[in-house]
Amino acid sequence: MNNSDLADQIAASHGITKADAKKIVDTVFAGIADAAAKGEEVSLPGFGKFKVKASAAREGRNPSTDATIQIAASKKLGFTPAKAIKDKLNG
């Protein structure tokens, strides 16, 4: 499923145009991205949590040359599903 498929499903379920549904989907994801960029946790009860995780700088190896390289510190967006979603996946 992609953004367009999700917008189609919302449009059909709520009797709105696909264009309006696409705007809603885009706004939701933009809100999640903006909150994550600020380092905030986004909690969606019954669905899960999006949380920013920091990775420290470290040394790695280039597999083709076996040379040691420096990997810069970075931030990653992690997702933890809610119990209801876990149960649905494993039910």
pLDDT at 44: 96
Question: Which single residue is written with the structure tokens 């810069």?
Answer: 72
Question: How much is the average pLDDT of 60-80?
Answer: 95
Q: For residues 52-78, give the mean pLDDT.
A: 94
Please tell me the pTM assigned to this model.
0.77
pLDDT of residue 8: 96
- Asked whether the predicted pLDDT for residue 38 surpasses 90, the reply is yes
Burial of 7 (0-12, 13-18, 19+ CB in 10 A): buried
Question: Under 8 Å CB-to-CB from 10, ≥6 apart: which residues?
Answer: 16, 21, 24, 25
Kindly report the CA angle at 71 between 69 and 76, in degrees rounded to 5?
A: 160
CATH superfamily of domain region 45-91 = IHF-like DNA-binding proteins (4.10.520.10)
CB 58 within 8 A of CB 71: yes
Mean pLDDT of the chain, nearest integer:
95
* Contact criterion met (CB below 8 Å) for 10 and 21: yes
Predicted pLDDT of residue 35: 96
